[in-house]
Amino acid sequence: MMPDISAQLLGASFGFLISMLLGVFFILIVLVIIPLCIIFKKAGRQWWEAIIPFYNIYVLTVITGQPWWIVFGIFFPVLQWLVSIFLYYHMCKRFGYGVPFTVGVILLPFIFLPIIAFGDAVYTAPEGASTPSETPSVK
């Protein structure tokens, strides 16, 4: 009598599927983090500021010239999407791109963030900032 190998085959297939999904996820994360580090450098910040959770959102508010308290929006489920869209829009604006490019950054960040990072986009500092890394004054 032959042993039933269907359970073993199912387990191996499931393990392979999870490994492949994690591999693709890891590659996509790397394709987003590296361009963000370069974008932060283009904006006059340190590259490592892009990889520190929560602090990177604060630095993005500085780069885009938005109020720092927007960072608190990332703690609320639906509001965090709106904050991300808002900050990505203003980041794209600072690099000379418009709404269609922002939609691309939101839907396919692993394609559109490298375009900003490795392209010839130039950062324009917010009004009131004497250097790109200085927080603009509130009027």
Say if residues 58 and 71 touch (Cβ distance below 8 Å). Answer: yes
Q: Which has the higher per-residue pLDDT, 133 or 73?
A: 73
- The pLDDT tens digits of the residues spanning 7-43 come to 788 888 889 999 999 999 999 889 999 999 999 999 9
Question: Under 8 Å CB-to-CB from 34, ≥6 apart: which residues?
Answer: 114, 117
Predicted local distance difference test score (pLDDT) of residue 134:
54
pLDDT at 139: 42
Token look-up 């269609």 returns: 100
Residue 132 has pLDDT above 60, yes or no: no
* Secondary structure letter of residue 125 according to DSSP: P
pLDDT band of 71, cuts 50, 70, 90: very high
The H or E element that residue 93 is part of is helix 77-94
Q: What is the pLDDT of residues 112-131, one digit of tens each?
A: 999 999 999 999 998 876 55
Rounded CA gap, 115 and 121, in Å? Answer: 8
Query: What pLDDT, in 10s, does the model give residues 47-68?
Result: 999 999 999 999 999 999 999 9
Q: List the Cα angle 31/135/53 in 5-degree steps.
A: 35
Contact 121, 94 (CB under 8 A): no
Would you state the pLDDT for residue 130?
A: 53
pLDDT at residue 133 in the model: 52
Considering the chain, what is the average pLDDT of its residues? 89
Please, are residues 96 and 82 in contact by the beta-carbon 8 Å criterion? Answer: no
